[in-house]
Amino acid sequence: MADAFSKTVVGMTTRARRFALGCGIACALLGASGCVLGNNSDPPVLSVDLLWDESTSSHFSEGTCESADVVWMEWALKDEDGHTVRKSEKGGNEDCQPGFDFFDLDAGNYSITVTGYDTNDQALWSSKCTDLLLERFDSLYECRVDQTGP
Protein backbone atom coordinates (compact mmCIF):
# COMPACT_ATOMS: atom_id res chain seq x y z
CA MET A 1 0.00 0.00 0.00
CA ALA A 2 2.99 2.25 -0.41
CA ASP A 3 1.32 4.04 -3.33
CA ALA A 4 -1.44 5.58 -1.19
CA PHE A 5 0.94 6.62 1.56
CA SER A 6 3.59 7.92 -0.80
CA LYS A 7 1.19 10.72 -1.75
CA THR A 8 0.99 11.84 1.88
CA VAL A 9 3.78 13.72 3.60
CA VAL A 10 3.72 13.03 7.30
CA GLY A 11 5.77 14.80 9.91
CA MET A 12 6.02 18.26 8.36
CA THR A 13 5.88 20.65 11.29
CA THR A 14 2.90 22.83 11.93
CA ARG A 15 5.21 25.84 11.78
CA ALA A 16 6.40 24.93 8.26
CA ARG A 17 2.86 24.49 6.94
CA ARG A 18 1.67 27.72 8.57
CA PHE A 19 4.68 29.58 7.18
CA ALA A 20 3.89 28.42 3.65
CA LEU A 21 0.22 29.26 4.07
CA GLY A 22 1.12 32.65 5.57
CA CYS A 23 3.35 33.45 2.59
CA GLY A 24 0.48 32.68 0.25
CA ILE A 25 -1.91 34.89 2.20
CA ALA A 26 0.64 37.71 2.34
CA CYS A 27 1.15 37.51 -1.42
CA ALA A 28 -2.60 37.66 -2.00
CA LEU A 29 -3.08 40.60 0.35
CA LEU A 30 -0.18 42.57 -1.08
CA GLY A 31 -1.26 41.91 -4.63
CA ALA A 32 2.21 40.79 -5.59
CA SER A 33 2.21 39.76 -9.22
CA GLY A 34 3.96 36.50 -9.92
CA CYS A 35 3.86 35.47 -6.25
CA VAL A 36 3.25 31.76 -6.58
CA LEU A 37 4.20 29.10 -4.08
CA GLY A 38 5.27 26.16 -6.19
CA ASN A 39 4.13 25.42 -9.70
CA ASN A 40 0.79 27.08 -10.44
CA SER A 41 -0.30 23.98 -12.36
CA ASP A 42 0.26 21.72 -9.34
CA PRO A 43 -2.91 20.35 -7.76
CA PRO A 44 -3.80 21.82 -4.36
CA VAL A 45 -2.63 20.24 -1.10
CA LEU A 46 -4.95 19.36 1.77
CA SER A 47 -3.02 19.82 5.03
CA VAL A 48 -4.38 18.62 8.37
CA ASP A 49 -2.64 19.42 11.67
CA LEU A 50 -3.48 17.01 14.48
CA LEU A 51 -3.88 18.53 17.94
CA TRP A 52 -3.81 15.81 20.60
CA ASP A 53 -5.77 16.28 23.84
CA GLU A 54 -3.59 16.03 26.96
CA SER A 55 -6.54 16.01 29.37
CA THR A 56 -9.37 13.60 30.11
CA SER A 57 -11.57 16.44 31.36
CA SER A 58 -14.21 18.12 29.21
CA HIS A 59 -11.73 20.97 28.59
CA PHE A 60 -9.52 20.34 25.55
CA SER A 61 -5.83 20.79 26.38
CA GLU A 62 -3.88 21.08 23.12
CA GLY A 63 -0.74 18.98 22.88
CA THR A 64 1.54 16.98 20.64
CA CYS A 65 1.98 13.24 20.27
CA GLU A 66 4.76 13.33 22.85
CA SER A 67 3.09 15.61 25.39
CA ALA A 68 -0.19 13.68 25.22
CA ASP A 69 1.60 10.28 25.33
CA VAL A 70 0.12 9.06 22.05
CA VAL A 71 2.35 6.26 20.75
CA TRP A 72 0.67 5.11 17.56
CA MET A 73 -2.41 5.84 15.54
CA GLU A 74 -4.69 4.78 12.74
CA TRP A 75 -6.54 7.09 10.38
CA ALA A 76 -8.72 7.20 7.28
CA LEU A 77 -9.45 10.05 4.88
CA LYS A 78 -12.83 9.83 3.14
CA ASP A 79 -14.37 11.81 0.33
CA GLU A 80 -17.83 13.38 0.45
CA ASP A 81 -19.39 10.11 -0.76
CA GLY A 82 -17.86 8.21 2.16
CA HIS A 83 -15.26 6.37 0.08
CA THR A 84 -11.85 5.89 1.71
CA VAL A 85 -9.26 7.69 -0.42
CA ARG A 86 -6.26 7.29 1.92
CA LYS A 87 -5.69 5.33 5.10
CA SER A 88 -2.97 4.33 7.50
CA GLU A 89 -0.58 1.61 6.44
CA LYS A 90 -0.02 -1.78 8.03
CA GLY A 91 -3.52 -2.05 9.40
CA GLY A 92 -3.13 1.17 11.35
CA ASN A 93 -0.02 0.58 13.44
CA GLU A 94 1.70 3.87 12.51
CA ASP A 95 3.78 6.04 14.78
CA CYS A 96 1.92 9.11 15.99
CA GLN A 97 2.31 12.07 13.64
CA PRO A 98 1.67 15.82 13.98
CA GLY A 99 -0.35 15.95 10.77
CA PHE A 100 -0.69 15.18 7.08
CA ASP A 101 -0.24 16.75 3.67
CA PHE A 102 -2.42 15.01 1.10
CA PHE A 103 -1.46 15.43 -2.55
CA ASP A 104 -3.27 14.47 -5.77
CA LEU A 105 -6.79 14.75 -4.38
CA ASP A 106 -9.75 15.91 -6.42
CA ALA A 107 -11.48 19.09 -5.32
CA GLY A 108 -14.24 18.30 -2.85
CA ASN A 109 -15.21 17.90 0.76
CA TYR A 110 -13.29 15.40 2.91
CA SER A 111 -13.35 14.01 6.44
CA ILE A 112 -10.67 12.30 8.47
CA THR A 113 -11.12 9.85 11.33
CA VAL A 114 -8.18 9.48 13.71
CA THR A 115 -7.67 7.08 16.63
CA GLY A 116 -4.65 7.31 18.93
CA TYR A 117 -3.23 4.55 21.14
CA ASP A 118 -1.08 4.56 24.27
CA THR A 119 1.83 2.25 25.21
CA ASN A 120 -0.68 -0.44 26.30
CA ASP A 121 -2.34 -0.38 22.87
CA GLN A 122 -5.50 1.16 24.33
CA ALA A 123 -7.46 3.49 22.05
CA LEU A 124 -7.64 6.58 24.27
CA TRP A 125 -7.99 9.31 21.60
CA SER A 126 -10.58 9.54 18.88
CA SER A 127 -11.97 12.16 16.54
CA LYS A 128 -13.69 12.66 13.21
CA CYS A 129 -12.97 15.99 11.57
CA THR A 130 -15.39 16.95 8.81
CA ASP A 131 -15.84 19.71 6.25
CA LEU A 132 -12.23 19.65 5.06
CA LEU A 133 -12.91 21.52 1.85
CA LEU A 134 -10.32 21.36 -0.92
CA GLU A 135 -10.81 23.70 -3.84
CA ARG A 136 -8.40 25.48 -6.16
CA PHE A 137 -5.79 26.48 -3.55
CA ASP A 138 -3.97 24.66 -0.75
CA SER A 139 -6.06 24.25 2.42
CA LEU A 140 -4.89 23.91 6.03
CA TYR A 141 -7.13 22.59 8.81
CA GLU A 142 -6.67 21.75 12.48
CA CYS A 143 -8.16 18.53 13.78
CA ARG A 144 -8.61 18.22 17.55
CA VAL A 145 -8.26 14.60 18.66
CA ASP A 146 -10.04 14.26 22.01
CA GLN A 147 -8.86 11.96 24.75
CA THR A 148 -11.72 9.62 25.57
CA GLY A 149 -10.08 7.33 28.11
CA PRO A 150 -8.16 7.52 31.40
pLDDT 10s per residue in the chain (150 long)? 333 333 444 444 444 555 555 555 555 554 443 344 555 678 899 999 999 999 888 889 999 999 999 999 999 999 999 999 999 986 667 999 999 999 999 999 999 999 999 999 999 999 999 999 999 999 999 999 999 876
Q: pTM for the full model?
A: 0.73
DSSP string, the chain: -HHHHHTEEE---HHHHHHHHHHHHHHHHHT-TT--SS-TTSPP-EEEEEEEE--SSSS--EE-HHHHT--EEEEEEE-TTS-EEEE-SGGG-EE--SEEEE-SPPSEEEEEEEEEE-TT--EEEEEEEEEEEE-SS-EEEEEEEEE---
pLDDT at position 6: 35
Structural domains of the chain sorted by starting position, each given as residue range(s) with its CATH number in brackets: 2-147 (2.60.40.10)
pLDDT at position 55: 87
Amino acid type, 99: G
pLDDT at position 68: 96
Tell me whether strands 139-147 and 46-53 are parallel, antiparallel or unpaired. Answer: parallel
pLDDT at position 138: 95
Amino acid type, 27: C
pLDDT at position 19: 53
